[in-house]
Amino acid sequence: MSSTGPDHPTRDAGFGIYLHWPFCAAKCPYCDFNSHVRRAGVDEPRFLAAFRAEIAHNAARTPGRTVTSIFLGGGTPSLMQPATVAGLLDAVAAHWAVAPDAEVTLEANPSSVEAGRFHGYRAAGVNRVSLGIQALDDASLRTLGRLHDTAQALDAIALAQSAFARTSFDLIYARPGQTPALWRAELAEALARAAEHLSLYQLTIEPGTPFHGLAAAGKLVTPDDEVGRALYDVTQDLCARAGLPAYEISNHARPGAESRHNLLYWRYGEYAGIGPGAHGRLVTPGGRLGTVTERSPEAWLARVEAEGHGIVETEILTAADQADEFLVMGLRLREGIDPDTYAALKGRPLNGNRIGMLIGDGLLERLPGGRIAATARGAPVLNALVAELAA
């Protein structure tokens, strides 16, 4: 489904809304997302009013669009009261047309208190939940700084599946001490519980996180590259056998159950990023804009109340910027990219000789219709593949 608005090469990817709720009950030691702990609580009505203002500001820039997906991410959006979620979704619907089959996803953590709100979120308009499970092993959950245990995670999965037709959950692998055999057993249990979608991420040590300091001091040791590759191969094999093949490097789904919002990103669609630290990509008469909002929740709130929005960076993306982003995002997908779309963004085509060389090396393949995609061998070295193509 395409959204209406200015003509651009990836218009058929849709128009999405990303709403960033930046608050968490605790900060996980591996996390470098824009998330914050506020022990004194959060003034939800005040933040909701600010979200409404920033939604209105973005809507004024993007008239005539039809929203195909909404994603409430964080942070921990499931810390919000259902009435706050309803207020956010009502504000979106007040400013844009929303497609009848729009996907509305909310990220949730599997504590019993939050899980009990699922029916309230469904009544508010949420139709898909993504659970941050991260591990099905209590020792690993403690290492990862999670506040739930395996039993709570399994209960939350069951409750989510009873409340929503569409669900997903995340797991992190390549954890300290994890072997391919241990991961195979854990993933098999996860696949037995998964209804339609799993997000499976290799643990990365991000600068500025507590895990980075521990790793630098030799107190946190993750699997080496060889074991990491073996864990990746186990992931691809088990998921494909279970009928949830990879449609993107870290995401697996039954055919037709892919995350529409994430597909919008990877297909280089248009989306408004709203809330503290949110990024957006908007198509305007002046060109494709990249937007970034103020990261600090309180500073964002003050800015919105003073100016009507919290955007602190607005950049007109060059043709080269757009083509590079399209390439980086699109080659993550199993469906790959249309070289003609790249040429329309860049103003010149990809180098045919380089494409041929990469196909010869077994890293790239041609798909029906002329699309090109990373092969199973090329996907693990995608950064190098993109660099070679974009050169």
CATH number of 318-388: 1.10.10
| pLDDT of residue 1 exceeding 70 | no
Q: Say which residue the tokens 């929303």 belong to.
A: 98
**What is the CATH superfamily name and number for domain 9-264?**
Aldolase class I (3.20.20.70)
Neighbours of 162 (CB within 10 A): 10
Instruction: Give φ, ψ of 163 to 5 degrees.
Output: -95, -25
Model pLDDT, residue 114? 67
Neighbours of 139 (CB within 10 A): 12
3 state SS of 263: helix
Locate 331 and state its tokens: 């080659």
Q: Say which residue the tokens 């974009």 belong to.
A: 390
Q: Say which residue the tokens 């989306």 belong to.
A: 271
Under 8 Å between Cβ of 123 and 82: yes
Stated pTM of the model: 0.95
Under 8 Å between Cβ of 274 and 19: yes
311-316 sheet: strands from edge to edge: 246-248, 251-253, 197-202, 166-173, 128-134, 97-108, 66-74, 15-21, 270-274, 279-284, 287-293, 311-316
Under 8 Å between Cβ of 197 and 257: yes
Nearest CA to 66 out of 107, 99, 101, 20 is that of 99
Read off the pLDDT of residues 88-106 as tens digits, 9 standing for 90 and up.
999 999 999 999 999 999 9
Average pLDDT over residues 282-310: 96
| pLDDT of residue 81 exceeding 50 | yes
Neighbours of 360 (CB within 10 A): 9
| pLDDT of residue 275 exceeding 70 | yes
Report the C-alpha gap between 193 and 147 in whole angstroms.
21
Model pLDDT, residue 391? 80
Report the C-alpha gap between 149 and 153 in whole angstroms.
6
Model pLDDT, residue 5? 64
Under 8 Å between Cβ of 266 and 289: no
| pLDDT of residue 168 exceeding 70 | yes
Model pLDDT, residue 39? 84
- The percent of residues above 70 in pLDDT, for the chain, comes to 98
AA letter at 149: D
Report the C-alpha gap between 71 and 103 in whole angstroms.
8
CA distances from 376 to 5, 69, 185, 327, 357 (A): 36, 29, 23, 17, 16
The angle at the Cα of 33, spanning 281 to 49, to the nearest 5 degrees, equals 65
AA letter at 386: V
Model pLDDT, residue 4? 59
Average pLDDT over residues 280-305: 96
Read off the pLDDT of residues 187-212 as tens digits, 9 standing for 90 and up.
999 999 999 999 999 999 999 999 99
CATH 3.20.20.70 domain extents, the chain:
9-264
CATH 1.10.10 domain extents, the chain:
318-388
Read off the pLDDT of residues 114-147 as tens digits, 9 standing for 90 and up.
677 899 999 999 999 999 999 999 999 999 999 9
Distance of CA 233 to the CA centre of its chain: 22
Average pLDDT over residues 242-255: 97
